[in-house]
Structure 1
Amino acid sequence: MKRKIWFTFIIMAIMPTLLISYVMLQYVQTATIDSKMESLCRTSRMMEHRLTDYSNALRSDLQKKTKLSLVMQLIHESAEDTESLDLQERTQLRMRLLDDISFPVISGAIIDIKGNVLISTIPSEEGMNLRKTELYNEMISGRESYLGIVTINETSDILDYAVPIKAEDGKTIGILKQTLKMDPLQEYLDTLDINDNDYSFLIKKNGMLVFQYNKANSGMLYQDYRNKNTLDQLIKEFRSGQLKSESGEVNFEKEGDKYVGSYKTVDKLGCIAVASVKRDTVYSDIHKSKEIMVAIGLVVALLAISGGYYTSLVLTRPLKQISSCTKKMTDGDLTIRCSCSGNGEFQELCSGINSLADNLQKSERELRLSSRIDSLTHLPNRSAIYEVLDTLLYKNPNQALLMLDLDGYSDINENLGYEIGERVLMEVSDVLRLLPQHICYPSRLIGDTFLIFITNWTSAKYPEQIAERIIKEIEGIRFIDEIHIDISISIGIEYTNVEKIDKKKLIKHSSLAMQKSKTLGTNSYFIYNPYLQREM
Structure 2
Amino acid sequence: MIAPNLKIKTKLPLFVAILSVFPILLLSFIIMEVNTTSAMKNYQMIISNQAESSAKYISDFYNTQKNALIYSSNLSVYKKYLHSLNGTDSALNSSLFNDIIKLQQTAISTDNRINNIFLTDVNGKIVACPDKTKLGISLEHSKAYKDAKEKRMDTFQIIDENDKKEILISYPVIDDDGSVIGSIFRLISIDEIDKHVNSSKIGSNGYIYILDQNYNVLSCNSNINITPFLESEQSKKIFKNIKKDALSYKSYFFQYNLEDTKTLASYHLISGCSWIVVVAIPHSEINHSSFFINNIIILAATITGIVSLVLSLLFVKGITNPLESLIDNIDAVANGNLYCNYTYEGNDEFAQVYKAINVMSNKLDISYKKLEESAKTDILTGLPNRTAIYDIMDENINCTNQATMLLDLDGFKNVNDSYGHDFGDAVLVSVANILKSFQDKHIYQARLGGDEFLIFISHFDKPDMVECLAQKIFEEISNIKTAIGKPISISVSIGIAFSDENDFDKQNLIKKADLAMYKVKRNGKSGVLVFNDTLKNE
TM range (shorter): 0.3 to 0.5
Give the TM-score normalised by structure 1.
0.42
Higher RCO structure, 1 or 2 (CA under 8 Å, sep 6+): 2
> Which structure is larger by alpha-carbon Rg, 1 or 2?
2
